[in-house]
Amino acid sequence: MLSFLAGSLFFIVAVSNGELDRPQLDKALAKSYIGKHLLVGITYLDHNDNFIEQKQVHGIILRINEIEGVVLRLKTGEEFKLPPDLRGFQQAPKGEYRLRSTGEIVVDPDLISNWTFNRPAPKN
C-alpha cells in the first residue's frame, strides 16, 4: 500500500507486483453520475491502521475527472473531493440515513460510497 496527499486528504493506493492500482476512469459511467446525490462514509486511520475518526458527508456530484477526482457540492456550498475511483460507488437503497456526527437525516440519496484513508507515517 502507498499513501499520498491530494489536497487535504491522504489516499491509499494498492501496490501489487510493483504496479500501482490505478483504475482507468470510466468516463461514460462518470458522466452518468453527474448531478446525482452521493452519501459518503469516510474512516480515517493513522499509519499503523489505528482509528482516528469517521466522517459522513453528502452532496451533489458536480464533476468527475482524473485531475480533481469526484467533486461534490455540499449543502454548505463548499466543494468536497474524493479520488477518481468509481469502483466503490453503488446505488443507495431507498430510505433515510442518519449522519452520526450531526444527526442530519439524508433521504433517498442516489449513490453511496465508503472510503478508508490512511495518514502517512510521520517523517523522522
pLDDT at 48: 93
- The enclosing H or E element of 29 equals helix 27-33
Nearest to 24 by CA among 87, 113, 109: 87
With contact defined as beta carbons under 8 Å apart, do 117 and 44 qualify?
yes
Measure CA 60 to chain center: 13
54's grid cell: 469517521
Domain ranges of the chain: 24-118
pLDDT digits 0-9 by tens, 4-41: 333 334 444 444 455 556 678 999 999 999 999 999 99
Cβ partners under 8 Å of residue 8, min gap 6: none
E-assigned strands of 66-120?
A: 69-74, 79-82, 90-91, 96-98, 105-107, 111-118
Residue 93 binned pLDDT confidence (cut-offs 50, 70, 90): very high
